[in-house]
């Protein structure tokens, strides 16, 4: 399978984001009626700029928010040398070269209650996990690897290790080779050193990051303000939930999938409801959206014919390109900016079909919104798995089929499409656990062929 070449998109290096027409002019074989997915993605990416507005929030409220600055560690983590195990700490030079080592146990170091005082040659202390290592000691042996005695050999808990020295104080014996010098000691700063970057600007904060921030003593953290995204559905046939479903009408589901997808991205959402296919109503909705939001997402009304009146109106409000993409589902897509009183908002006009809305959102809007949020987004990981079904595929378009990934008896994973792949069949999205991505040039897939999938769910 050959990959579709991106060479037709040549943005000058180190350019700042540009206007839509400037970005389009960089695409050598630009054809708005047959635009490959990768070209549309590149044009969109080139036109997007991050917002710059920072707010400080308590670390719990920072979950899933975009970190606005590099976080520099103000301390060493761990702050002091400490034990990685419950056991006994001593200096490795106390280990005898041949035979068992016997060490006097002269005290205990607890986490939060350090042992005070020197520990000499031939001596050890009992030490708990996380407890400070007394200075000069470099090794910890876990308690299960020693024989410990309370000072009276007759009461040995390991009577089978002869000969036992007679001592009046508690002691341990360590079998030859039971521990290496320097073992089980966590060094100050081994996790993070004072002055090192703990978390990078642009990171979307996950549970582990909240813990890391807390471990450095931060109560608050600067994050990017939430991106404001306004959305509405267009279509005379749409009825909102709770309304009577007149004949020839459908319930508006797109506003709910969009709500869910935008919430998951951490956006502040402005739901502008259903707007009729009427230029005046649409213009009012677009102006209000542009005034209040950073980005506008609509569904429906961007396919040929449909869009004529919208196109004329948008030409006055901003700069919008209407594309027919080489993809399935989700062929029509409008992208550009809409102005209201001089305030531009990025605009995505998604198709109306419910699956097409989701696919276009995930593969065009998502990355752009993340970039606007200031997030350092990495490409979504694509996994190669074998196909458990024949999949018909025409070259010349990218297909996003809804897939069910299953683990076979031999432990390998395979994927099959959910069944009917119509762009209006929303149930195919609810049944699927992944998207099968069939690249632009891909032809029919045979059983056992490798295909690329993107998982819907992750661990975090």
Shortest distance, position 332 Cβ to ligand AMP, whole Å: 7
| DSSP-assigned letters across all residues of 250-303 | EE--HHHHHHHHHHHHT-EEEEEEEE-S-HHHHHHHHHHHHHH-SEEEEES--S
**Minimum CB–partner distance for residue 405 and ligand AMP (Å):** 27
CB 101 within 8 A of CB 173: yes
CA distance 346 to 369: 9
Other beta carbons less than 10 A from residue 394's beta carbon: 11
Q: Binding segment for Mg ion among 3-11, 166-174, 209-217, 345-353 (CB under 5 A)?
A: 345-353
Residue with tokens 């006097």: 104
Give the residues across from 344 on adjacent strands: 339
CB of 349 to Mg ion, least distance (A): 11
State whether residue 78 is helix, strand or coil.
coil
Q: Does residue number 257 form part of the binding site for ligand AMP (CB under 6 A)?
A: no
- Using CB under 6 A, pick the residue from 349, 354, 374, 417 that binds ligand AMP: 354
Query: What backbone phi and psi angles, to 5 degrees, belong to 4?
Result: -70, 135
* Nearer Cβ to ligand AMP (201/239): 239
Instruction: Say which residues have a Cβ less than 8 Å from residue 420's Cβ, sequence separation at least 6.
Output: 428
Residue 288 binds to ligand AMP (criterion: CB under 6 A): no
Among 87, 132, 134, 235, indicate the residue that binds Mg ion (CB under 5 A). Answer: 235
Q: How far is the CB of 353 from Mg ion (least distance, A)?
A: 10
Binding mask 263-302 toward Mg ion (x if CB under 5 A, else -) reads: -------------------------------------xx-
**Long-range CB contact pairs, 93-97, < 8 A, 24+:** 93/121, 94/121, 94/122, 94/123, 94/124, 95/139, 95/174, 95/179, 95/181, 96/176
- The reply on whether position 254 binds ligand AMP by CB under 6 A is yes
> Hey, which residues between 208 and 247 contact ligand AMP (CB under 6 A)?
233, 235, 237-238
> Which CB, 245 or 406, lies closer to ligand AMP?
245
Q: Which stretch binds ligand AMP (CB under 6 A): 169-177, 215-223, 352-360, 391-399?
A: 352-360
- Residue 14 C-beta-side C-alpha neighbours within 13 Å: 0
Rank residues 257 and 386 by Cβ distance to ligand AMP and give the closer one. Answer: 257
Which residues would be at the binding site for ligand AMP (CB under 6 A)? 233, 235, 237-238, 250, 252-254, 299-301, 303, 306, 351-354, 424
């Amino acid at each position: 399978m050959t990959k579709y070449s991106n060479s037709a998109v040549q943005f000058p290096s180190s350019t700042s984001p540009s206007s839509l027409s400037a970005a389009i002019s960089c695409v050598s074989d630009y054809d708005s009626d047959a635009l490959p997915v990768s070209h549309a993605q590149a044009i969109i990416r080139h036109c997007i700029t991050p917002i710059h507005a920072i707010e400080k929030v308590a670390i719990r409220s920072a979950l899933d928010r975009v970190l606005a600055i590099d976080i520099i560690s103000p301390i060493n983590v761990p702050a002091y040398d400490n034990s990685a195990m419950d056991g006994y700490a001593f200096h490795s030079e106390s280990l005898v070269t041949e035979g068992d080592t016997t060490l006097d146990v002269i005290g205990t170091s607890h986490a939060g209650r350090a042992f005070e005082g020197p520990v000499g040659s031939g001596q050890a202390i009992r030490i708990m996990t996380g407890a400070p290592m007394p200075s000069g000691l470099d090794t910890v042996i876990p308690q299960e690897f020693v024989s410990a005695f309370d000072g009276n050999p007759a009461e040995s808990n390991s009577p089978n290790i002869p000969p036992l020295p007679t001592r009046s104080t508690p002691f341990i014996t360590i079998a030859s080779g039971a521990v290496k010098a320097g073992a089980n000691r966590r060094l100050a700063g081994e996790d993070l050193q004072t002055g090192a970057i703990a978390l990078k600007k642009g990171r979307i904060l996950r549970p582990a990051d909240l813990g890391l921030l807390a471990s450095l003593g931060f109560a608050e953290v600067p994050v990017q303000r939430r991106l404001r995204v306004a959305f509405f559905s267009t279509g005379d046939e749409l009825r909102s939930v709770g309304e009577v479903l007149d004949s020839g009408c459908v319930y508006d589901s797109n506003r709910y999938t969009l709500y869910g997808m935008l919430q998951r991205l951490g956006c502040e959402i402005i739901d502008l409801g259903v707007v009729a296919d009427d230029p005046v109503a649409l213009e009012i909705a677009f102006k209000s959206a542009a005034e209040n939001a950073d980005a506008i997402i609509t569904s429906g009304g961007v396919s040929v014919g449909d869009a004529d009146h919208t196109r004329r109106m948008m030409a006055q409000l901003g700069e919008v390109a209407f594309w027919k993409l080489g993809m399935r589902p989700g062929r029509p897509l409008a992208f550009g900016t809409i102005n209201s009183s001089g305030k531009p908002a990025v605009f995505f006009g998604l198709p109306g079909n419910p699956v097409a809305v989701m696919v276009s959102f995930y593969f065009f809007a998502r990355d752009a919104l993340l970039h606007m949020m200031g997030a350092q987004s990495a490409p979504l990981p694509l996994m190669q798995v074998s196909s458990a079904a024949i999949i018909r595929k025409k070259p010349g378009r990218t297909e996003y089929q809804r897939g069910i990934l299953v683990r076979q008896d031999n432990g390998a994973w395979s994927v099959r499409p959910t069944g009917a792949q119509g762009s209006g069949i929303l149930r195919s999205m609810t049944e699927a656990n992944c998207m099968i991505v069939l690249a632009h040039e891909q032809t029919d897939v045979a059983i056992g062929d490798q295909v690329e999938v993107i998982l819907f769910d992750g661990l975090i």
